[in-house]
Amino acid sequence: MSDDNQALWDRFNELVKLSFGEVEDGDLKGYIYSFRKTYMAVMGVEEFNKTKKHYDEMTEVMIKLVGDDDPFKAAREKDAPRLFKKNWETILESCCFPVLNATDIDDGIEKYQKCNAYVFDCWRKALNACRQGDYPQAVFLSILALEEAAKFHQAWYELFYNDGKPINAKKNQPPRRKDYKFNHKKKHFVSIVSGALLNHRVEGLFGKDKVVEFVGMAENGELENVRQSCLYATVGDEGPVYPDDVISQETAIFYVVFLGEAIGEFVFSTSWEYRDFKEEMDAVIEEFGLPAVS
């Protein structure tokens, strides 16, 4: 990065702090309140003009940093506009089914953090299974963590907008089969598009083509076939085919790392959560002999 761009980048980070306020690591309630303030500034609420001014300058700085480059070129190459539109439409189907059902913001934060802890407990069990040589279980648990991340995705919006209380709960709810939270294939799609499609770390690890291929698998429902192949033997032309015959060490490492990175990108809303998990992922990447990524 040139000196001029470094100065712009430093200014951008300074403006982020001004816009979000000085929130200490771990202060999720303070972060939510600051995030709300910034959101209202972006929406043009008059009493937050000072924050809006910071936000406007942040936007100008980012435009200068981008320069003549097309920031959306890479996204278009991966069919991102269509996929994100489909992703958002899938998520909107579930708005009437609350996740947290909190009584107040403290209750909401406690439940939200427990959701996240559970998701990453599933992923760490996948990691341990991979280390122990149980490769089908490693892949299955990685996909399970991915599904649970999608199931609880709505929790952040409930917490941010309404202290964890239900948003737009409807008396006449549609059947659960229309809610992506109760559909394996839709959960795979939502998590992968949100967490991997524009994730520079997974692209640095596995390449753009692999990311595009995996997003396609999620969209086409193929991850559900992989999930089942981890659990059930099938009968082939030459006799039974067992999970150990299908899932190799290389496959298990790929799923544990790829989905771990995707889930981290998808789930964490604060800088300190993502920073801590990134350090954990960096150690796992080194352990498995994969190239380091920033």
Please check whether residues 182 and 82 belong to one and the same domain. Answer: yes
**pLDDT tens digits along 139-174:** 999 999 999 999 998 898 889 889 998 876 555 566
Q: Give the domain-ending residue among 9, 42, 69.
A: 69
Please check whether residues 150 and 55 belong to one and the same domain. Answer: no
- Asked if residue 168 belongs to a domain, the reply is yes
Examine the pLDDT at 263 and tell me if it is beyond 70.
yes
- Asked if residue 232 belongs to a domain, the reply is yes
| Model pLDDT, residue 270 | 84
**Mean pLDDT in residue range 186-203:** 89
| Model pLDDT, residue 9 | 62
Please check whether residues 25 and 171 belong to one and the same domain. Answer: no
Please check whether residues 144 and 65 belong to one and the same domain. Answer: no
**Mean pLDDT in residue range 227-240:** 92
**Mean pLDDT in residue range 86-93:** 81
- Helices vs. strands in the chain: H and E counts, helices first: 15, 2
Please check whether residues 166 and 272 belong to one and the same domain. Answer: yes
* Number of neighbours of residue 146 by Cβ within 10 angstroms: 31
Q: Minimum mean pLDDT among 28-32, 39-43, 113-117, 224-228: which range? A: 39-43
Q: Give the domain extent around 49.
A: 1-69
Please check whether residues 106 and 32 belong to one and the same domain. Answer: no
Ranges 44-53, 117-126, 179-188, most confident: 117-126
| Model pLDDT, residue 161 | 86
Please check whether residues 154 and 61 belong to one and the same domain. Answer: no
- Asked if residue 248 belongs to a domain, the reply is yes
Examine the pLDDT at 205 and tell me if it is beyond 80.
yes
* Contact indicator for 11, 61 with CB cutoff of 8 Å: yes
Please check whether residues 42 and 106 belong to one and the same domain. Answer: no
Please check whether residues 124 and 187 belong to one and the same domain. Answer: yes
Please check whether residues 55 and 150 belong to one and the same domain. Answer: no
The 3 state secondary structure assigned to 4-56 is HHHHHHHHHHHHHHHHHCCCCCCCHHHHHHHHHHHHHHHCCCHHHHHHHHHHH
Q: Give the domain-ending residue among 69, 95, 124.
A: 69
- Asked if residue 294 belongs to a domain, the reply is no
For the question of whether the overall pTM of this predicted structure is more than 0.85, the answer is: no
Query: Cβ contacts of residue 167 below 8 Å, gap of 6+?
Result: 95, 98, 157, 158, 161
Please check whether residues 186 and 238 belong to one and the same domain. Answer: yes
- Asked if residue 293 belongs to a domain, the reply is no
